[in-house]
Amino acid sequence: MAPVKQFLILTADAGFGHRTAAKAIGTALQETHGLECAVQIVNPMEDRRTPALLRNSQSDYDKLVRDTPRLYKLGFDASDASAPSHMVEGALTVMMFEVMDDLVRQYRPDVIVTTYPAYQAPLKAVYTVRNQYIPTITVVTDLVTAHRMWFHEVADLCLAPTEQVRDLALEAGLPAHRVQITGIPVSPGFAREQRPAATIRAELGWRPDLITLLAVGSKRVGHLYDVLRALNHSGLPLQLAIVAGGDGDLYRQLQETEWHAVAHLYNFVTHMPALLHAADCVMCKAGGMIVSESLACGLPLLLVDVLPGQETGNAAYVVEGSAGEQVESPLAALETLYHWLDRGGALLAQRGSSARGLGRPWAAYEAAEHAWAIAERAPAIGHSHESETRRKLIQFLKQRGIRWKRQTAELTDTEVPG
């Protein structure tokens, strides 16, 4: 009997998308290969040895992009160049080397998959110091505007969501055979859900006879309630299903609202595939994951909040692909919906057709199969790194007091920092 293949998936909790993609790939691997594989999903940022600056960046991310979006975009743009990117990667290597080294030793993976770009430089350093090779896959979770740090030489395979991101990867120097377009991995539940919308609506207690708009919020969606308030008083023949996305303040506000439209209220949900498949269109921010999930279900998108940086590209992808509209005000949202519903919903149907053309509901399965194929043909083995590069890296880490446990006879006492 062949040994169980070990997959280590590294992620982070700066927003929902990175972990959602990681879980989607893990689920797809276990569905398709069962007892032949073992999957561990780990967030290295949660390790107590990770500096507070990085640990806190996950929770600070929400606050930064919500309260100071222009500052966030300035930092994103300033670091998205070769020299600044290398400086950031050097800092990440110092801050995360010990954590990455221990993860590699603890899990002994056949393949490492990362859905977050910050881990690649530290992994490269671990491989170099250990004279080790572990096949590594990077899964990009931004649809168009992807930071340069996503495209690192350590990746045996970079899974890009779109042609635009593939082009960025090639411009950054990755060879074409190491870049594949798969889409952003969404939960396999989106591909598995095949029931008619009417059946799902009956199960949810929704009206079967009304056009249904699913509104998806979170703490980072700033204008959702204003648009919902306008829709509530618009007289449009709509049914509203509203998910607060764990934003307690928004959920309380929704509960206290006197609804004139048919409205179904949720806080945090775990059955998003069913909700999306039961809807006719989606109103949300331009986050990579919710956009990808909506497109996977063939749903037109009404984008009411677009943060500078990655989300600008996501919004352009939707609008230029004729799968939805970006609106700047409640009045613009109303105008768009009137146009969508006019003439028996002809434009809504057109937007839905375009969305289906862009959707990649099987992306998680594609990513899982790429990971499985690499595990099958390239198990983790010893690897010879250029000796001078290795010596300089060891010295660099030693000067900064970075320690690691000796694993093989290759590492002499003089090579181990500290």
Name residues whose C-beta falls within 8 Å of residue 386's C-beta, 6 or more positions apart in sequence.
none
CA distance 218 to 228: 14
CB atoms under 10 Å from CB of 242, counted, come to 25
Residue with tokens 């899990």: 107
**5-186+363-399 placed in CATH 3.90.1150.10:** no
- pLDDT > 90: percent of the chain: 70
Sole residue written with tokens 């590294």: 10
For residue 415, which amino acid is it? E
pLDDT digits (tens, 9 = 90+) for 122-138: 999 999 988 888 999 99
CA–CA gap between residue 4 and residue 243 (Å, rounded): 40
pLDDT level of residue 80 (50, 70, 90 thresholds) = low
Q: Report the relative pairing of strands 132-133 and 37-42 from DSSP bridges.
A: unpaired
Tell the residue number behind the tokens 């249904």, with chain if given: 212
Token digits of residue 70:
């222009």
The pLDDT confidence band at residue 3, using thresholds 50, 70 and 90, is confident
What is the three-class DSSP state of 50?
coil
Q: Is the pLDDT of residue 69 over 60?
A: no
pLDDT in tens, 209-260: 999 999 999 877 878 999 999 999 999 999 999 999 988 999 999 999 999 9
Between the alpha carbon of residue 119 and those of residues 54, 102, 123, 161, 209, the distances in Å are 12, 13, 6, 19, 49
Q: Which residue has the higher pLDDT, 365 or 74?
A: 365
The predicted structure's pLDDT at residue 418: 40
Please tell me the distance from the alpha carbon of residue 178 to that of residue 169, in angstroms, as a whole number: 9
Torsion-angle region of residue 329: left (phi > 0), alpha (psi -120 to 50) or beta? beta
pLDDT tens digit string along 255-290?
A: 999 999 999 999 999 999 999 999 999 999 999 999
* pLDDT greater at residue 412 or residue 362: 362
Give the single-character DSSP code of 385.
Answer: P
Burial class (CB in 10 A: 0-12, 13-18, 19+), 237: exposed
pLDDT at residue 416 in the model: 42
Q: Residue range 388-410: average pLDDT?
A: 66
Q: Which residue ranges make up each domain of the chain? A: 5-186+363-399, 195-358
CA pair distance 408, 282, nearest whole angstrom: 54
- pLDDT value at residue 85: 61
Residue-wise pLDDT for 300-357, tens only, equals: 999 999 887 778 999 999 999 999 999 999 999 999 999 999 999 999 999 999 999 9
- Asked if residue 194 has pLDDT above 50, the reply is yes
Which CATH number fits the domain 195-358, given the four candidates 3.40.50.2000, 3.30.565.10, 3.60.70.12, 3.40.50.150? 3.40.50.2000
Task: Name the token pair of 145.
Answer: 């505007």
CA nearest to 219, candidates 238, 241, 244 = 244
Average model confidence (pLDDT) for the chain? Answer: 87
Banded pLDDT at 200 (limits 50, 70, 90): very high
Higher per-residue pLDDT: 415 or 278:
278
d(CA 160, CA 169): 8
Distance CA 361, CA 369 (A): 15
